[in-house]
Chains A and B, each alone.
Chain A
Protein backbone atom coordinates (compact mmCIF):
# COMPACT_ATOMS: atom_id res chain seq x y z
CA UNK A 1 0.00 0.00 0.00
CA UNK A 2 1.39 3.38 -1.01
CA UNK A 3 0.85 6.35 1.26
CA UNK A 4 0.88 9.74 -0.43
CA UNK A 5 0.85 12.93 1.60
CA UNK A 6 -0.47 16.24 0.31
CA UNK A 7 -0.14 19.44 2.33
CA UNK A 8 -3.14 21.69 1.75
CA UNK A 9 -3.08 25.51 1.64
CA UNK A 10 -5.28 25.48 4.76
CA UNK A 11 -2.65 25.79 7.49
CA UNK A 12 -0.63 23.06 5.75
CA UNK A 13 -3.04 20.38 6.91
CA UNK A 14 -2.27 16.96 5.47
CA UNK A 15 -4.52 14.99 3.15
CA UNK A 16 -3.45 11.37 2.71
CA UNK A 17 -4.14 9.04 -0.17
CA UNK A 18 -3.74 5.32 0.46
CA UNK A 19 -3.34 3.60 -2.90
CA UNK A 20 -3.48 -0.10 -3.68
CA UNK A 21 -4.18 -1.91 -6.97
CA UNK A 22 -5.62 1.19 -8.57
CA UNK A 23 -8.05 1.85 -5.74
CA UNK A 24 -7.74 4.45 -3.01
CA UNK A 25 -8.79 5.70 0.41
CA UNK A 26 -8.62 9.39 1.23
CA UNK A 27 -7.96 10.62 4.74
CA UNK A 28 -8.92 14.24 5.50
CA UNK A 29 -10.11 15.34 2.05
CA UNK A 30 -9.16 18.54 0.28
CA UNK A 31 -10.79 19.31 -3.04
CA UNK A 32 -7.72 20.75 -4.73
CA UNK A 33 -5.93 17.45 -5.23
CA UNK A 34 -8.29 15.69 -7.64
CA UNK A 35 -5.70 15.62 -10.47
CA UNK A 36 -3.16 13.93 -8.17
CA UNK A 37 -5.77 11.43 -6.97
CA UNK A 38 -6.83 10.65 -10.52
CA UNK A 39 -3.20 10.07 -11.46
CA UNK A 40 -2.88 7.37 -8.81
CA UNK A 41 -6.27 5.68 -8.58
CA UNK A 42 -9.17 4.80 -10.84
CA UNK A 43 -11.55 5.03 -7.93
CA UNK A 44 -11.87 5.90 -4.26
CA UNK A 45 -13.60 3.49 -1.86
CA UNK A 46 -13.72 5.53 1.36
CA UNK A 47 -13.19 9.06 2.61
CA UNK A 48 -12.13 8.99 6.26
CA UNK A 49 -12.15 12.02 8.56
CA UNK A 50 -9.73 12.17 11.50
CA UNK A 51 -11.79 14.94 13.10
CA UNK A 52 -14.32 17.63 12.41
CA UNK A 53 -12.19 20.77 12.00
CA UNK A 54 -12.59 22.60 8.71
CA UNK A 55 -9.02 22.20 7.52
CA UNK A 56 -9.51 18.41 7.60
CA UNK A 57 -12.96 18.14 6.01
CA UNK A 58 -13.12 20.90 3.42
CA UNK A 59 -13.09 18.54 0.43
CA UNK A 60 -15.61 16.01 1.74
CA UNK A 61 -18.51 17.21 -0.39
CA UNK A 62 -16.53 17.62 -3.60
CA UNK A 63 -14.70 14.29 -3.36
CA UNK A 64 -17.79 12.32 -2.30
CA UNK A 65 -19.62 13.69 -5.31
CA UNK A 66 -16.71 12.97 -7.61
CA UNK A 67 -16.04 9.39 -6.49
CA UNK A 68 -19.41 8.30 -5.11
CA UNK A 69 -17.89 6.81 -1.98
CA UNK A 70 -18.97 7.05 1.67
CA UNK A 71 -17.58 9.55 4.17
CA UNK A 72 -16.76 7.71 7.41
CA UNK A 73 -16.00 9.24 10.81
CA UNK A 74 -16.85 9.01 14.49
CA UNK A 75 -20.40 9.69 15.63
CA UNK A 76 -19.33 12.90 17.37
CA UNK A 77 -17.51 14.06 14.24
CA UNK A 78 -20.58 13.22 12.16
CA UNK A 79 -22.70 15.50 14.34
CA UNK A 80 -20.25 18.36 14.38
CA UNK A 81 -19.40 18.53 10.67
CA UNK A 82 -23.02 19.54 10.06
CA UNK A 83 -22.56 22.78 12.00
CA UNK A 84 -20.27 25.59 10.80
CA UNK A 85 -19.54 26.67 14.37
CA UNK A 86 -18.69 23.16 15.55
CA UNK A 87 -16.66 22.30 12.45
CA UNK A 88 -14.88 25.63 12.92
CA UNK A 89 -15.38 26.83 9.34
CA UNK A 90 -17.16 29.97 10.46
CA UNK A 91 -14.08 30.96 12.47
CA UNK A 92 -11.54 29.64 10.05
CA UNK A 93 -10.72 32.77 8.09
CA UNK A 94 -10.27 34.76 11.29
CA UNK A 95 -8.23 32.02 12.92
CA UNK A 96 -5.92 31.69 9.91
CA UNK A 97 -5.45 35.45 9.75
CA UNK A 98 -4.65 35.65 13.46
CA UNK A 99 -2.27 32.73 13.40
CA UNK A 100 -0.40 33.57 10.22
CA UNK A 101 -0.79 37.35 10.25
CA UNK A 102 -2.00 37.13 6.67
CA UNK A 103 -5.33 36.66 4.89
CA UNK A 104 -6.10 33.29 3.34
CA UNK A 105 -4.30 32.64 0.04
CA UNK A 106 -6.12 33.99 -3.02
CA UNK A 107 -8.14 31.49 -5.00
CA UNK A 108 -9.27 29.36 -2.06
CA UNK A 109 -12.97 28.57 -1.96
CA UNK A 110 -14.97 30.59 0.56
CA UNK A 111 -14.81 28.99 3.99
CA UNK A 112 -17.79 30.54 5.71
CA UNK A 113 -20.78 28.28 6.23
CA UNK A 114 -19.21 24.96 5.33
CA UNK A 115 -21.45 22.00 6.02
CA UNK A 116 -21.03 18.38 5.22
CA UNK A 117 -22.33 15.05 6.51
CA UNK A 118 -21.14 11.52 7.15
CA UNK A 119 -22.51 8.47 5.36
CA UNK A 120 -21.29 6.07 8.04
CA UNK A 121 -20.41 6.76 11.67
CA UNK A 122 -19.12 4.59 14.51
CA UNK A 123 -18.61 4.73 18.26
CA UNK A 124 -15.55 3.35 19.97
CA UNK A 125 -13.87 1.40 17.22
CA UNK A 126 -14.49 0.18 13.68
CA UNK A 127 -12.36 -2.04 11.44
CA UNK A 128 -12.28 -1.74 7.66
CA UNK A 129 -10.86 -4.53 5.52
CA UNK A 130 -9.73 -3.07 2.22
CA UNK A 131 -7.61 -4.49 -0.62
CA UNK A 132 -5.95 -6.96 1.76
CA UNK A 133 -5.28 -4.34 4.42
CA UNK A 134 -6.78 -3.79 7.84
CA UNK A 135 -7.62 -0.29 9.01
CA UNK A 136 -8.70 0.14 12.62
CA UNK A 137 -10.48 3.41 13.37
CA UNK A 138 -10.45 4.30 17.07
CA UNK A 139 -12.03 7.25 18.86
CA UNK A 140 -9.36 9.38 20.55
CA UNK A 141 -11.18 12.51 21.78
CA UNK A 142 -9.28 15.39 23.31
CA UNK A 143 -8.18 17.67 20.49
CA UNK A 144 -11.86 17.65 19.55
CA UNK A 145 -14.86 15.52 20.54
CA UNK A 146 -14.87 13.75 17.16
CA UNK A 147 -11.15 12.92 16.90
CA UNK A 148 -10.04 9.47 15.83
CA UNK A 149 -6.80 7.70 14.95
CA UNK A 150 -6.54 5.24 12.06
CA UNK A 151 -4.13 2.33 12.44
CA UNK A 152 -3.23 0.64 9.15
CA UNK A 153 -1.86 -2.91 9.20
CA UNK A 154 -0.77 -2.43 12.83
CA UNK A 155 2.21 -0.41 11.64
CA UNK A 156 1.08 2.98 10.35
CA UNK A 157 -0.96 5.46 12.36
CA UNK A 158 -2.89 8.34 10.83
CA UNK A 159 -3.24 10.52 13.88
CA UNK A 160 -4.98 13.66 12.65
CA UNK A 161 -4.31 16.38 15.21
CA UNK A 162 -4.41 13.92 18.11
CA UNK A 163 -0.65 13.56 17.75
CA UNK A 164 1.68 16.02 16.02
CA UNK A 165 5.48 15.89 15.91
CA UNK A 166 7.14 17.70 18.76
CA UNK A 167 3.96 19.45 19.80
CA UNK A 168 1.86 19.16 22.88
CA UNK A 169 -1.58 18.24 21.55
CA UNK A 170 -3.88 21.25 21.58
CA UNK A 171 -7.00 20.52 23.61
CA UNK A 172 -8.09 24.13 24.18
CA UNK A 173 -10.20 24.58 21.07
CA UNK A 174 -13.92 24.88 21.79
CA UNK A 175 -15.14 21.33 22.45
CA UNK A 176 -11.65 20.02 23.22
CA UNK A 177 -10.90 18.23 26.47
CA UNK A 178 -7.58 17.78 28.22
CA UNK A 179 -9.20 15.23 30.52
CA UNK A 180 -10.44 13.07 27.64
CA UNK A 181 -7.06 13.30 25.97
CA UNK A 182 -5.31 12.04 29.10
CA UNK A 183 -7.86 9.35 29.90
CA UNK A 184 -8.63 8.02 26.40
CA UNK A 185 -6.23 9.20 23.69
CA UNK A 186 -2.92 9.00 25.54
CA UNK A 187 -3.39 5.44 26.87
CA UNK A 188 -4.31 4.33 23.34
CA UNK A 189 -1.17 5.91 21.87
CA UNK A 190 0.99 4.58 24.65
CA UNK A 191 -0.05 0.99 23.96
CA UNK A 192 1.00 1.12 20.29
CA UNK A 193 4.38 -0.37 19.34
CA UNK A 194 7.29 2.07 19.47
CA UNK A 195 8.14 1.47 15.83
CA UNK A 196 4.71 2.59 14.62
CA UNK A 197 5.12 5.23 11.93
CA UNK A 198 2.88 8.23 12.63
CA UNK A 199 1.36 10.22 9.77
CA UNK A 200 0.10 13.37 11.50
CA UNK A 201 -2.51 15.93 10.50
CA UNK A 202 0.24 18.52 10.00
CA UNK A 203 3.97 18.22 9.26
CA UNK A 204 5.91 15.11 8.27
CA UNK A 205 5.71 11.49 9.40
CA UNK A 206 7.73 10.39 12.42
CA UNK A 207 8.25 7.20 14.45
CA UNK A 208 6.14 6.93 17.58
CA UNK A 209 9.15 6.24 19.79
CA UNK A 210 10.30 9.83 19.25
CA UNK A 211 7.11 11.06 20.82
CA UNK A 212 7.18 8.51 23.63
CA UNK A 213 10.64 9.70 24.64
CA UNK A 214 9.33 13.27 24.83
CA UNK A 215 6.34 12.11 26.89
CA UNK A 216 8.67 10.46 29.40
CA UNK A 217 10.85 13.56 29.81
Chain B
Protein backbone atom coordinates (compact mmCIF):
# COMPACT_ATOMS: atom_id res chain seq x y z
CA UNK B 1 0.00 0.00 0.00
CA UNK B 2 1.38 3.43 -0.93
CA UNK B 3 1.48 6.30 1.53
CA UNK B 4 -1.41 8.13 -0.12
CA UNK B 5 -3.46 4.95 0.00
CA UNK B 6 -2.68 4.60 3.72
CA UNK B 7 -3.55 8.25 4.26
CA UNK B 8 -6.87 7.87 2.46
CA UNK B 9 -7.63 4.63 4.26
CA UNK B 10 -7.35 6.35 7.64
CA UNK B 11 -10.16 8.76 6.65
CA UNK B 12 -12.27 6.05 5.04
CA UNK B 13 -11.98 3.76 8.07
CA UNK B 14 -12.49 6.52 10.62
CA UNK B 15 -15.47 8.21 8.99
CA UNK B 16 -17.00 5.60 6.69
CA UNK B 17 -16.65 7.90 3.66
CA UNK B 18 -15.82 7.09 0.05
CA UNK B 19 -12.64 8.02 -1.76
CA UNK B 20 -14.61 10.49 -3.90
CA UNK B 21 -15.60 12.46 -0.79
CA UNK B 22 -12.04 12.92 0.44
CA UNK B 23 -10.87 16.08 -1.38
CA UNK B 24 -13.63 18.23 0.17
CA UNK B 25 -13.57 16.62 3.60
CA UNK B 26 -13.11 18.99 6.55
CA UNK B 27 -13.64 18.99 10.30
CA UNK B 28 -17.34 19.08 11.20
CA UNK B 29 -18.38 18.94 7.53
CA UNK B 30 -19.83 15.50 8.21
CA UNK B 31 -21.30 14.22 11.51
CA UNK B 32 -18.62 11.55 11.81
CA UNK B 33 -15.77 14.09 11.83
CA UNK B 34 -16.52 15.59 15.22
CA UNK B 35 -14.15 15.89 18.20
CA UNK B 36 -14.34 12.15 18.90
CA UNK B 37 -13.95 11.25 15.23
CA UNK B 38 -10.96 13.58 15.08
CA UNK B 39 -9.21 11.51 17.73
CA UNK B 40 -10.03 8.35 15.79
CA UNK B 41 -8.44 9.85 12.69
CA UNK B 42 -5.33 11.05 14.52
CA UNK B 43 -4.84 7.64 16.15
CA UNK B 44 -5.33 5.89 12.80
CA UNK B 45 -2.74 8.10 11.09
CA UNK B 46 -0.24 7.69 13.92
CA UNK B 47 -0.67 3.92 13.73
CA UNK B 48 -0.41 3.82 9.95
CA UNK B 49 2.74 5.92 9.71
CA UNK B 50 4.32 5.29 13.11
CA UNK B 51 4.43 8.97 13.98
CA UNK B 52 3.33 11.08 16.96
CA UNK B 53 1.58 14.37 16.25
CA UNK B 54 2.30 17.45 18.35
CA UNK B 55 -0.68 18.89 20.22
CA UNK B 56 -0.87 22.01 18.04
CA UNK B 57 -0.83 19.91 14.89
CA UNK B 58 -3.70 17.76 16.18
CA UNK B 59 -5.71 20.91 16.80
CA UNK B 60 -4.88 22.46 13.42
CA UNK B 61 -5.45 19.30 11.35
CA UNK B 62 -8.67 20.73 9.97
CA UNK B 63 -9.20 19.09 6.58
CA UNK B 64 -8.10 16.30 4.30
CA UNK B 65 -6.00 18.71 2.25
CA UNK B 66 -4.57 20.60 5.23
CA UNK B 67 -3.60 17.27 6.75
CA UNK B 68 -1.30 16.59 3.82
CA UNK B 69 0.84 19.55 4.89
CA UNK B 70 1.21 18.09 8.37
CA UNK B 71 2.15 14.70 6.97
CA UNK B 72 5.02 16.38 5.11
CA UNK B 73 6.14 17.93 8.41
CA UNK B 74 6.46 14.42 9.80
CA UNK B 75 8.46 13.37 6.73
CA UNK B 76 5.67 11.33 5.22
CA UNK B 77 5.68 11.76 1.43
CA UNK B 78 2.22 11.33 -0.05
Contacts and interface: CB of A to CB of B under 8 A. Distances in A.
B58 A172 contact: no
Interface in B42-77: 42-44, 46, 52, 55-56, 58-59
Given A90-B52, A91-B58, A94-B58, A174 B35 contact: no
Interface residues of B, number: 15
A109 to B, nearest CB: 15
A36 B35 CA distance: 33
A179 B71 CA distance: 32
A128 interface: no
A95 interface: yes
Chain A interface residue number, banded? 10 to 19
A95 B52 CA distance: 15
Interface in B28-44: 35-40, 42-44
Given A94-B59, A97-B55, A98-B35, 11 more contacts: A88-B39, A91-B43, A94-B42, A94-B55, A94-B56, A95-B35, A95-B38, A99-B35, A112-B55, A172-B40, A173-B36
